């Protein structure tokens, strides 16, 4: 399949880009290693050997690629454990946050967009249009801060951050733990839902208005189908296909949003791992998390594309 | 807006005016007038003009030196007052002055980065569309790959490895990470235009590829590119503030809206103005650019004729 | 049902009685009078052809009968469409929906786009039954399969489960016809039902329509630009030009004795098997835009006979014989025909 091939090309490009960036950065890579108090002399030697820093650049590149293919990203300076283990912890947490947000945002956005299209030109439509444009114009980090200030500090309804209560989680049963995590998930997920949902609603409304002049919509009306059914069944089923594709296209931006949201709410996912790694100059973790983060994004887009293809009988059976 | 029936569509298509080729001045004047007639877009334009003025006149408008730590004890995180309308920050600096100078940095970074992105994107898209099949395929695969990496990851990768950036470097880095969409847009536009009659006619008259591209195709790509660029300013503004917010933006003590935001992050509850003021400025400005872009898009698609 | 006008009532023998139908569209270029004071009747079981160039108002007329005109289009409130004793234009939105697809059905021109691509054809036919009869899912599906068989689709049970893109153009048109007829409507509006199809398929579809009409006993309003199709199927003809009916008569008389110069032009432009001519004649000029009909007669700019009266005065439909009328001053002043000795073109 062409898309899968594209994904491999992208992975390769990202990997190469990371390599180039690390080597193009001012000063030799890992120059600060010797002075870094977190890095023991043995560790530094190990790293230098691992990266083949004494060998020519071409060899280094091959070595680096070979390790990436095997999923070996080295050891995190900061956490003193394999990068792979750090990422294995972080990835599911981002998946939980983004997955929840996308599913809820998609459902709400499609519904809102459809109701707007159904009542196009009404005051409700105009009001929602302004609201969604405003929400889509608010940077994720600002909305995150606003919700945090409002619903965690001013009205302490929800926790201020993290993924579970640090103390209680040791004693909680699995069920209690799940409830605690869901509780911590509300604000970060809502932040993403509001923004993604606004984008989806705007797009869904426009897609529906594009579909309405189609001949088959007129056929449905001529059959005696009610306007509501015409819009929510006949038109919407068609207009949802481009919206699913849209989610795939904006997936990189969604991940970007998650980086900020995780940072504001200290959600221990990929985004926060990346930012922490960057702030700490934890090179192995930077390369590993940027690479895996990009793969995650590419996979997300691929899944959305597949979903759109499966939902469309023309591509499914042709 | 109720949907027009096919008949009405035809009439609309017939009545839509293509800009007179060559007469750029008249076309621009008409465009400005059409934007201005729309209430919301007019508000957006006024806001942007006012902000540009603030940025330009910053040294005369700012009551204090934005970097001066006025009184580290007495003026630490002071709420808005007559002397300091926007309050002071944790270092005792006047937030109003920092906002005024920050406007300078934030706006210039966003707008110059957008210009750079638009220039690269247009050139790249033109090359892909007119350079033949093989060139097109290689170039567009590259863009597709870059588009699928979150912009913030690209930027964070660069910024973190290089350490803190100067304003100029920030412009280049943000500009370099923002042209992929524009390239795709220009390429698609050019590919559809290439088959149109007037291009074929120009070819037939012996015009070379570069000449056809610059004289005959570019003017017709201008309107979608303008729309995308206007949206692009808002995006660049958000990205710049986001980088500063995460701690990777302009160096202290220089102020940008994002860095003021970051300074206030720890004092969300005790010094709300440190978050609220730059946050509001950011949202309103991005909205300003977006409503203008929205209006430009309506004009480009002829939709403004439906709703005068 | 209260009739809003004192004089406007339905004539007793007509199934549908259209009186002074006017449809306008608000456009940036001005008000488009797409259909202007069109009146006609169709008797039960009758096939009436409506012919004219594109843009003459045929399709808009057809859509008006089902009240499918949407903003910026508007049916003038003075218009009347009596059907089965009620004025369709005064019905509530709910009541008109009970007419659509059940009593009056419509088949559209483009079988490629008139079917919803994401539903199976069986579902799309069954939906009509379920909307109008509250029939259970299984029963409606069964009716759909039956109908597919009735419109000549082989292995209908399997076909019903397929999507439109899996069917040929001719089959899709059969599906659309089945969808229109599943409720056994009293009137079928067929808008260019064969235009988008291959010639051989065209003949099959026309034959199917004729056969179904005979079996179901419904009336048909056949909208087309092709006089050949009219000759094969209709008993009466309405010729439209510029949003108006310009000639109305039986098929036989239309071919034998056309009165309106536009009809003459259409007939001259028609290819015939016994044709010895080298080239087909075409009517010079094009239809003017509906926002700017010429004053007086709307055909005058293209008419070989037009004289100054056509500029000054708007012609009425003048009776030539009891069942034949034409909107042309030539009916009143037939001697003018001879004056224009050598018609243009």
CA distances from C81 to C75, C85, C121, C302 (A): 11, 10, 32, 32
CA atoms within 13 A on the CB side of A275: 24
- Interface residues from chain B to C (CB-CB < 8 Å): 2-5, 7-8, 11-12, 14-15, 305-306
Give C9's contacts (C-beta < 8 A, 6+ positions apart).
Answer: C3, C82
Burial of A316 per CB tally in 10 Å (0-12, 13-18, 19+): exposed
Mean pLDDT to the nearest integer, B85-109: 85
pLDDT at residue C187, as a whole number: 92
Highest mean pLDDT among A10-19, A175-184, C43-52, C289-298: C43-52
In this model, does residue A28 exceed pLDDT 60?
no
Closest CB to C32: pick one of B2, B11, B306: B11
A contacts of B159 (beta carbons < 8 Å): 278
Q: Is the pLDDT of residue A124 over 90?
A: yes
Is the CB of B242 less than 8 angstroms away from the CB of A139? Answer: yes
pLDDT at C304 over 60: yes
- CA quadruple A108, A114, A115, A117: dihedral positive or negative? positive
Return the sign of the alpha-carbon dihedral for residues C99, C101, C102, C107.
Answer: positive
* Contact criterion met (CB < 8 Å) for C68 and A218: yes
Label the pairing between strands C16-27 and C318-321: unpaired
Residue B168 has pLDDT above 60, yes or no: yes
Is the per-residue pLDDT at A42 higher than 60? yes
Structure tokens at C216: 């179901």
- Pair type for strands C47-51 and C236-241: parallel
CB-CB: which of C101, C113, C117 is closest to A224?
A: C101
Backbone phi and psi for residue B287, each to the nearest 5 degrees, phi listed first: -60, -45
- A10·B161 Cβ contact <8 A: no
Compute the distance between CA of residue A123 and CA of residue A126 in angstroms, rounded to an integer: 5
Identify the weakest region by mean pLDDT among A284-288, B10-14, B86-90, C67-71: B10-14
Res. A143 pLDDT band, cuts 50 70 90: very high
Search chain C and give the residue with CA nearest B304: C28
Grouping H, G, I as helix, E, B as strand and the rest as coil, residue A49 is: helix
Q: pLDDT tens digit string along C318-345?
A: 888 888 888 888 888 888 887 765 544 4
Beta bridge partners of C321: C324
Interchain proximity B11–C69, CB inside 8 Å: no
Q: What is the pLDDT of residues A71-118, one digit of tens each?
A: 788 788 778 888 899 999 999 999 999 999 999 999 999 999 999 998
| Bond into A92 cis (ω within 30) | no
- Among A238, A222, A208, residue whose Cα is nearest residue C163: A238
Lowest mean pLDDT among A58-72, C31-45, C91-105: A58-72
ipTM: 0.84
Q: Residue C209 and residue C105: Cα distance in Å, rounded? A: 13
Q: Is the Cβ–Cβ distance between C242 and C298 less than 8 Å?
A: yes
Stronger pLDDT, A278 or C130, i.e. the higher one: C130
pLDDT > 80? residue B95: yes
Using the beta-carbon criterion (under 8 Å), do A238 and C117 form an inter-chain contact? yes
Whether pLDDT at B13 is above 80: no
Contacts of A25 in chain B (CB under 8 A): 161-162
Q: How far apart are CA B292 and CA B110, in angstroms?
A: 16
User: Cα(A94)–Cα(A274) distance, rounded to whole angstroms?
Assistant: 12
Residue B145 token pair: 């790959």
Average pLDDT over every residue of C247-270: 87
pLDDT at residue C219, as a whole number = 92
| B4 chain-C contacts, CB cut-off 8 A | 71-72
- Give me the pLDDT at residue B5, please: 29
| Burial bucket for residue C214 (CB in 10 Å: 0-12, 13-18, 19+) | exposed
What pLDDT does A96 receive? Answer: 92
Q: How many angstroms separate the CA atoms of B267 and B271, rounded?
A: 5
Q: Which residues of A touch B290 (CB under 8 A)?
A: 133, 136-137
Q: Binning pLDDT at 50, 70 and 90, where does residue C276 land?
A: low
d(CA A188, CA A254): 13
Q: B256 pLDDT exceeds 80?
A: yes
A54 by Cβ neighbours in 10 Å (0-12 / 13-18 / 19+) ranks as: exposed
Q: What is the mean pLDDT of residues A171-177?
A: 79
Please report which confidence band the pLDDT of residue C4 belongs to, taking 50, 70 and 90 as the band edges. Answer: very low
Confidence of residue B58 (pLDDT cuts 50, 70, 90): confident
Cβ pair C27:B2 closer than 8 A? no
């Amino acid at each position: 399949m062409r898309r899968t091939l594209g994904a491999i090309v992208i992975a390769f490009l990202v990997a190469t880009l990371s390599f180039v960036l690390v080597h193009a950065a001012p000063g030799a890579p890992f120059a600060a290693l010797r002075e870094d108090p977190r890095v023991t002399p043995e560790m530094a030697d190990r790293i230098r050997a691992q990266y083949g820093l004494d060998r020519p650049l071409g060899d280094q590149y091959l070595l680096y690629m070979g390790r990436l293919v095997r999923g070996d990203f080295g050891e995190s300076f900061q956490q003193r454990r394999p990068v792979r283990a750090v990422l294995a912890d972080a990835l599911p947490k981002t998946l939980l946050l983004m997955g929840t947000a996308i599913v809820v945002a998609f459902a709400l956005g499609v519904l809102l967009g459809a109701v707007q299209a159904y009542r196009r030109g009404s005051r409700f439509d105009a009001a929602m249009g302004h609201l969604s444009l405003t929400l889509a114009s608010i940077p994720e980090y600002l909305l995150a801060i606003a919700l945090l200030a409002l619903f965690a500090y001013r009205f302490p309804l929800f926790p201020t951050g993290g993924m579970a209560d640090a103390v209680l989680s040791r004693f909680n049963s699995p069920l209690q733990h799940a409830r605690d995590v869901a509780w911590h998930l509300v604000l970060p997920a809502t932040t993403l839902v509001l923004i993604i949902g606004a984008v989806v609603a705007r797009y869904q409304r426009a897609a529906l208005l594009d579909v309405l002049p189609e001949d088959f919509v007129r056929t449905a009306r001529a059959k005696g189908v009610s306007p509501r059914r015409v819009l929510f069944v006949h038109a919407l089923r068609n207009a949802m296909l481009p919206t699913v594709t849209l989610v795939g296209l904006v997936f990189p931006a969604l991940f970007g949003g998650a980086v900020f949201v995780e940072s504001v709410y200290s959600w221990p996912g990929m985004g926060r791992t990346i930012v922490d790694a960057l702030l700490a100059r934890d090179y192995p973790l930077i390369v590993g998390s940027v690479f895996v983060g990009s793969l995650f994004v590419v996979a997300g887009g691929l899944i959305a594309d597949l979903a759109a293809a499966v939902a469309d009988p023309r591509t499914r059976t042709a | 807006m109720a949907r027009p029936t096919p008949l009405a569509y035809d009439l609309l298509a017939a009545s839509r005016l293509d800009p007179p080729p060559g007469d750029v001045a008249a076309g621009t004047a008409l465009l400005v007038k059409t934007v201005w007639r729309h209430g919301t877009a007019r508000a957006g334009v006024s806001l942007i003009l006012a902000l540009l003025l603030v940025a330009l006149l910053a040294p005369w408008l700012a009551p204090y030196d934005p970097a001066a730590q006025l009184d580290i004890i007495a003026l630490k995180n002071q709420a808005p007052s007559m002397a300091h309308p926007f309050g002071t920050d944790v270092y005792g600096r006047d937030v109003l002055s920092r906002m005024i100078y920050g406007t300078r940095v934030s706006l210039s970074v966003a707008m110059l980065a957008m210009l750079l992105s638009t220039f690269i994107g247009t050139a790249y898209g033109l090359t892909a569309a007119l350079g033949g099949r093989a060139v097109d395929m290689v170039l567009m695969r590259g863009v597709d790959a870059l588009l699928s990496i979150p912009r913030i990851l690209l930027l964070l990768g660069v910024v973190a490895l290089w350490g803190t950036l100067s304003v100029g470097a920030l412009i280049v880095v943000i500009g370099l990470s923002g042209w992929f969409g524009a390239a795709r847009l220009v390429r698609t536009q050019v590919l559809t235009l290439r088959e149109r009659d007037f291009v074929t006619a120009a070819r037939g008259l012996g015009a070379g590829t570069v000449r056809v591209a610059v004289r005959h195709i570019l003017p017709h790509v201008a309107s979608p590119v303008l729309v995308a660029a206007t949206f692009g300013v808002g995006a660049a503004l958000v990205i710049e503030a986001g980088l500063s917010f995460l701690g990777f933006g302009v160096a202290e003590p220089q102020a940008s809206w994002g860095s003021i935001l970051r300074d206030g992050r720890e004092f969300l509850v005790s010094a709300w103005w440190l978050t609220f003021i730059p946050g509001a400025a950011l949202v309103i400005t991005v909205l300003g650019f977006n409503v203008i872009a929205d209006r430009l898009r309506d004009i480009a698609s002829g939709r403004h004729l439906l709703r005068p | 049902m209260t009739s809003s006008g004192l004089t406007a009532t339905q004539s007793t023998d007509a199934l549908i009685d259209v009186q002074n139908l006017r449809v306008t569209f608000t456009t940036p270029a001005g008000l488009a009078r797409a259909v202007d004071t069109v009146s006609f009747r169709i008797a039960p079981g009758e096939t009436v052809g409506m012919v004219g160039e594109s843009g003459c108002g045929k399709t808009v007329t057809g859509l008006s009968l089902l009240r499918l005109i949407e903003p910026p289009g508007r049916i003038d409130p003075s218009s009347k469409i009596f059907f089965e004793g009620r004025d369709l234009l005064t019905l509530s939105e709910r009541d008109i929906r009970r007419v659509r697809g059940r009593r009056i059905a419509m088949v559209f021109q483009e079988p490629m786009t008139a079917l919803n691509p994401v539903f199976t054809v069986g579902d799309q036919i069954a939906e009509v039954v379920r909307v109008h009869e509250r029939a259970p899912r299984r029963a409606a599906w069964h009716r759909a399969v039956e109908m597919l068989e009735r419109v000549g689709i082989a292995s209908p049970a399997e076909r019903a489960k397929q999507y439109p893109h899996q069917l040929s153009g001719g089959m899709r048109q059969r599906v659309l016809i089945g969808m229109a007829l599943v409720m056994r409507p009293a009137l079928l509006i067929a808008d260019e039902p064969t235009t988008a199809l291959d010639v051989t398929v065209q003949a099959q579809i026309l034959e199917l329509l004729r056969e179904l009409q005979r079996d179901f006993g419904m009336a048909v309003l056949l909208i087309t630009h092709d006089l050949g199709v009219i000759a094969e199927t209709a008993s009466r003809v309405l010729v439209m030009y510029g949003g108006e009916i310009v000639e109305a008569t039986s098929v036989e008389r239309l071919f034998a004795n056309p009165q309106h110069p536009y009809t003459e032009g259409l007939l001259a432009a028609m290819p015939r098997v016994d044709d010895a001519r080298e080239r087909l004649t075409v009517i010079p000029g094009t239809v003017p835009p509906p926002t700017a009909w010429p004053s007086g007669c709307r055909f005058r700019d293209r008419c070989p006979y037009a004289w100054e009266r056509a500029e000054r005065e708007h012609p009425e439909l003048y009776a030539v014989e009891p069942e034949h009328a034409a909107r042309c001053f030539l009916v009143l002043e037939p001697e003018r025909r001879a004056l224009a000795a050598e018609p243009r073109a």
